[in-house]
C-alpha cells in the first residue's frame, strides 16, 4: 500500500514540517554550499523494517525544489534489510541538504509505525482475528500514521469521532446504561459499536441487538469465555493493554478483531541514513 501524498492533510503536514524546520532559511547550507553545486542523495535502511513514508519525498522536494530526479526503490509496505537503499534523489546540493532532516523524520517515524504494525499482524496469522489501529496517534499526524499502520498490514479503525459510533464506558455512564445508549443511536445508519464491562452489560447489549461489541481489559481466558457466550451474535473486538507478547493469546480467544494503541503511540522510529555525494 502506498501513502496518498495528495491527501489535503498530508500536503498541509508536509508544509508545516518544512516551515517549522527551515523558517527564514537554512543558514548553514546557504553559507557553506555554492548555489550551483549539484549532488545525489540516497536513503539507506540500517535495521530491518517495513517501509512507510518514502513517497513523501515527492511532496517534500516539490516544496523546496526543483530536483532533477527522485527514484523510489522500496515503496511503502515493502520490507527492507540493513544496507538496502530505499530511495535516491538528485538535484541542487542545497535543496538536498535543507530537506534532509524533514524527510528522515517522516520516513523514520512512519516506518517505525509500519514496522510495529507488521509485528502485531504477524501475531494473528493463522487465526480469524484482524488487528486494528486506534485514535491514539500523534496530534496532527493521524492521517499519516494510520496510512503507515495500514502499510504494515493492520486495518484502520475509525479515523475520528465523525465517521463511526463507538459507545465507550463513559458514554454509557453519562447516558444511563447500555440499553439507553443503544436506544439513542438506534436510528443511525453508520456503524455502531458498544463497549461492555460486565456480563450484565453484555447480555443487555445482545438483547438490544448490538452487532459489534468492544470487550475491554479482559484476560485471554476471560475473552474466550465471553466470546463463547456471544456465540456469533455480534462481531467482537478486544482491547486494553494488548502487547506483542499477548496479542496471539487474545487472537486465539476467538475474537474478530483486536485493537492496539501501541502501534501508533509507542512505535519507535527506525534507523534510516541519508548519504550525499557530489554529482
Collapsing DSSP states into helix, strand and coil, what is residue 89? strand
Collapsing DSSP states into helix, strand and coil, what is residue 60? helix
**For the domain that residue 46 is a member of, what is the CATH number?**
3.90.1170.20
Residue 1, domain member (yes or no): no
CB-based contacts of 150, cutoff 8 Å, min separation 6: 1, 117, 133, 156
In this structure, are 246 and 139 located in the same domain? yes
Domain count within the chain = 2
Question: Does pLDDT of 50 surpass 90?
Answer: yes
In this structure, are 176 and 234 located in the same domain? yes
Residue 146, domain member (yes or no): yes
Q: How confident is the model at residue 277 (pLDDT cuts 50, 70, 90)?
A: very high
What span, in angstroms and rounded, lies between the C-alpha atoms of 223 and 269? Answer: 32
Percent of the chain with pLDDT over 70: 99
pLDDT in tens, 204-242: 999 999 999 999 999 999 999 999 999 999 999 999 989
pTM to 2 decimals? Answer: 0.95
What are residue 50's DSSP bridge partners? 79
In this structure, are 103 and 139 located in the same domain? no
In this structure, are 76 and 171 located in the same domain? no
Residue 87, domain member (yes or no): yes
Residue 173, domain member (yes or no): yes
Prior bond to 66 cis, omega within 30?
Answer: yes
Q: What are phi and psi of 17, to 5 degrees?
A: -65, -40
Name the residue among 112, 36, 116, 106 with its Cα closest to residue 274: 106
- Find the mean pLDDT for residues 27-35: 98
Question: Does pLDDT of 177 surpass 60?
Answer: yes
CA distance from start to end of the chain? 32
pLDDT (0 to 100) of residue 2:
65
What span, in angstroms and rounded, lies between the C-alpha atoms of 67 and 56? Answer: 14
Q: How confident is the model at residue 279 (pLDDT cuts 50, 70, 90)?
A: confident
C-alpha cell at 20: 517549522
pLDDT in tens, 86-138: 999 999 999 999 999 999 999 999 999 999 999 999 999 999 999 999 999 99
Cβ–Cβ < 8 Å for 211, 167: no
In this structure, are 150 and 217 located in the same domain? yes
Return the active site residues: 101, 136, 168, 195, 216
In this structure, are 160 and 175 located in the same domain? yes
Domain that holds residue 96: 8-121+268-278
Question: Does pLDDT of 1 surpass 80?
Answer: no
Interior angle at CA 118, CA 133 and CA 234, nearest 5: 45
Amino acid at each position: 500500500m502506498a501513502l496518498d501524498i495528495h491527501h489535503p492533510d498530508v500536503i498541509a503536514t508536509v508544509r508545516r514540517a518544512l516551515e517549522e524546520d527551515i523558517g527564514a532559511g537554512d543558514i548553514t547550507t546557504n553559507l557553506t554550499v555554492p548555489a550551483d553545486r549539484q549532488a545525489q542523495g540516497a536513503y539507506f535502511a540500517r535495521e530491518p523494517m517495513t517501509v512507510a513514508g518514502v513517497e513523501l519525498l515527492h511532496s517534500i522536494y516539490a516544496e523546496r525544489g526543483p530536483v532533477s530526479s527522485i527514484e523510489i526503490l522500496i515503496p511503502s509496505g515493502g520490507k527492507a534489510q540493513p544496507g538496502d537503499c530505499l530511495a535516491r534523489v538528485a538535484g541542487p546540493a542545497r535543496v538536498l541538504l535543507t530537506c534532509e532532516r524533514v524527510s528522515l523524520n517522516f520516513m523514520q517515524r512512519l516506518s517505525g509505525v509500519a514496522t510495529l504494525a507488521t509485528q502485531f499482524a504477524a501475531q494473528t496469522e493463522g487465526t480469524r482475528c484482524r488487528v486494528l489501529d486506534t485514535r491514539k496517534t500523534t496530534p496532527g499526524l493521524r492521517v499519516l500514521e494510520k496510512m503507515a499502520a495500514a502499510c504494515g498490514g493492520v486495518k484502520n479503525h475509525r479515523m475520528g469521532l465523525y465517521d463511526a459510533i463507538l459507545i465507550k464506558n463513559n458514554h454509557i455512564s453519562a447516558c444511563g446504561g447500555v440499553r439507553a445508549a443503544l436506544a439513542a443511536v438506534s436510528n443511525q445508519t453508520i456503524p455502531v459499536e458498544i463497549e461492555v464491562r460486565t456480563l450484565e452489560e453484555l447480555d443487555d447489549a445482545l438483547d438490544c441487538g448490538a452487532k459489534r461489541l468492544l470487550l475491554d481489559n479482559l484476560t485471554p481466558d476471560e475473552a474466550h469465555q465471553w466470546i463463547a457466550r456471544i456465540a456469533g451474535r455480534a462481531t467482537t473486538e478486544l482491547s486494553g493493554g494488548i502487547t506483542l507478547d499477548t496479542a496471539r493469546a487474545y487472537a486465539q480467544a476467538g475474537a474478530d478483531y483486536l485493537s492496539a494503541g501501541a502501534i501508533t503511540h509507542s512505535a519507535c522510529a527506525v534507523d534510516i541514513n541519508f548519504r550525499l555525494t557530489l554529482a
